[in-house]
Structure 1
Amino acid sequence: MSRSSDSKQQQPPTRRDALVLGAGLAAGIAGLTSVGARAQGAVAPKELRLDHAYYSPTSLVLRRFGWLEEDLAKDGTAVRWVLSAGSNRALEYLNAGSIDIGSTAGLAALLARANGNPIRTPYIFSRPEWTALVVRGDSGIRSLADLKGRRIAATKGTDPYLFLLRALHTVGLKRGDIEHVALQHADGRAALEQGRVDAWAGLDPLMAASELDAGSRLLYRNVGFNTYGFLNVREEFLARHPQTVRRVIAAYERARAWTLANPSDAAKILSEEAKVSLPVALLQVKLRSDFSHPQPSDEHVKALQAAAPILTAEQLVKPGVDLNRTIADLVDTRFAAGLVKA
């Protein structure tokens, strides 16, 4: 099934653009290091805790090469990586103070912020098509309307779950019209392939693996319903250690430039880390990930404004919550200015 014409992604930068970006970032990172946490009395943290996730290929590249550890060691800051299995896990860790920086989908971050999770988003790690509604290859389900009364697996608090709700609304269905089976992403895939659920709101690379390895079929795709990859920071950490956060963003930019210049090698890293085949990883990195718009902007604000009504319609936020205000509080369009080469 093809993507709708109004959901066409913009073309990512060329390999030459990525190499130029990488050269500029090397100088930028050096400048940040010289200022570092010593600037104007800023104090470097003893430890930075951040996540890596299979749905964020650049986080895997950054972790693999140790660029952040090398930079922050100059100020005595250790780096500890924590695996996030989904946006819900990353948001739980952020809310509990278990990590300082975490990777989530944009709409999931908005839902968390609206419900009291004190996070801000100063960087966009990708614009992916990482979720769709998936059925088995031999399923008789052919349309969204056929999902009424069916058992559907989805991980609450994540983009796939919210994608499911938005998709249902397009045909006049609501959450109460299906039987939602709350499973973490990997368990949802297993339940689908074993016939324990009728459909699954998938997440790459698990979704791509189910397609290529198990013959599963994408029932419904809509790249416009896939919200961006948000790199979120606890507000308290951002206030205390802004220079460290800037250096994390600079390191992510280095990983982004490397990924754009070496997509096949980035896919190989994903394949090794997520333990999926190389064709699965290539599908995710080359065909379903757009790394070209890392600077938070009106583009991301408008995407959340378009998606936000589902949170109210399905009573996922408290009555009276001003979602436009919440979006403004969440998306930081200024912090990364000067660090990002769009």
Structure 2
Amino acid sequence: DGVEIEWVWSAGSNKANEYLRSDAVDLGSTAGSAALLARANGSGIQTVYLYSQPEWSALVAPPGSDITTVEGLAGKKVAATKGTDPYFFLLRSLNEVGLSGNDVEVVNVQHADGKTALENGDVDAWAGLDPYMAQTEIEHGSTLFHRNIDFNSWGFLNARTKFLDEHPAYVTRILVQYERARQWIRDNPDEASAILARDADLSKDVADKELFERTNLDIDPVPGPTQTAVLEEIIPIFEAEDQLQPGADVNQALAELFNTTFIEEAIAQSGAGS
């Protein structure tokens, strides 16, 4: 019917949220934490789909580092991309051991630049993100010294509410294709990894680690209570670390974040599902 899809590359959840807020894209993928923060701070978005349960974030040290625990980060320089899951992973990890963002020097760079800074010795540690994290682990000998899958806030596909109102049929059709792709990857993992390696310019080992070890696609794609519980754990970090704009009602934002209408219709149309 002449509808064209334009894919826009995003360097991180913070960039995807910028594109959504500025109407540069109609749908954008982010971590759950980033989606909630964006809506709380006034972005007119809703989450319409879950595409994965990832372990895409961890804390990373270069080879030979004496940093082996979160406590060891006190007073250190840590690369992180503010407004993204790795940044909130860092803050939650610090909070868990009685530290805060004020106890480290956060070097705010995009994910790929954080990897470079770590490998060049410009920072002591990095709040990492795959595939860059898998790259430095395999190709540079870096160490993931602190992991916690529960501090990773799921893969959210978000849409501008205006787009949802104006083009509901398009949204449903897009989600039908997302569901087909998710199922195809589950059924054809080796071919999927080869495509990921080719299109993202990764080694096959890196693609395999990201896709097979740190990405769970065997999920219910409908956002609901599980994700709400994850995000409720992040809200105190938003508040303690001054992430919210004046007047922001983060609890109301969470209550209004999920719109399951479109994925439920997509599943009904395609017969797909987890």
The one of 11, 14, 20 equivalent to 1:85 is 11
The one of 298, 305, 329 equivalent to 2:256 is 329
Give the corresponding residue for 1:178.
104
Aligned pair count reads 268
Report whether the alignment pairs 1:247 with 2:173: yes
Cα offset, 1:172, TM superposition: 0.9
The one of 274, 288, 293 equivalent to 2:214 is 288
In structure 1, what is the Cα distance between the partners aligned to 2:248 and 2:22?
22
Report whether the alignment pairs 1:135 with 2:61: yes
The one-letter code of the counterpart of 1:282 is: D
- 8 Å CA contact 2:175–2:262 kept in 1: the answer is no
Cα offset, 1:319, TM superposition: 4.7
In structure 2, what is the Cα distance between the partners aligned to 1:319 and 1:235?
22
SS at match of 1:305: helix
Equivalent runs, 1:88-127 vs 2, <5 Å: 88-127=14-53
In structure 2, what is the Cα distance between the partners aligned to 1:172 and 1:333?
37
Cα offset, 1:322, TM superposition: 2.8
Give the corresponding residue for 1:72.
none
Report whether the alignment pairs 1:300 with 2:233: no
The one-letter code of the counterpart of 1:280 is: V
- 8 Å CA contact 1:127–1:293 kept in 2: the answer is no
In structure 1, what is the Cα distance between the partners aligned to 2:173 and 2:228?
24
Deviations 1:243-283, CA, capped at 9 Å, x for gaps: 00000000000100100001111111111122111011011
The one-letter code of the counterpart of 1:337 is: E
SS at match of 2:102: helix
In structure 2, what is the Cα distance between the partners aligned to 1:333 and 1:208?
32
The one of 140, 146, 165 equivalent to 2:91 is 165
SS at match of 1:76: coil
Deviations 1:75-97, CA, capped at 9 Å, x for gaps: 22111111111101111111110
- 8 Å CA contact 1:311–1:317 kept in 2: the answer is yes
Cα offset, 1:318, TM superposition: 2.9
Deviations 1:307-328, CA, capped at 9 Å, x for gaps: 2211011110035533221112
Consecutive unaligned residues in structure 2, runs of 5 or more: 268-272
The one-letter code of the counterpart of 1:297 is: G
Report the identity percentage. 49
In structure 2, what is the Cα distance between the partners aligned to 1:81 and 1:122?
18
SS at match of 1:337: helix
SS at match of 1:82: coil
In structure 2, what is the Cα distance between the partners aligned to 1:152 and 1:337?
41
Cα offset, 1:301, TM superposition: 1.4
Consecutive unaligned residues in structure 1, runs of 5 or more: 1-74
In structure 2, what is the Cα distance between the partners aligned to 1:303 and 1:91?
20
- 8 Å CA contact 1:301–1:331 kept in 2: the answer is no
Report whether the alignment pairs 1:201 with 2:201: no
Give the corresponding residue for 1:5.
none
The one of 291, 315, 319 equivalent to 2:242 is 315
SS at match of 2:19: helix
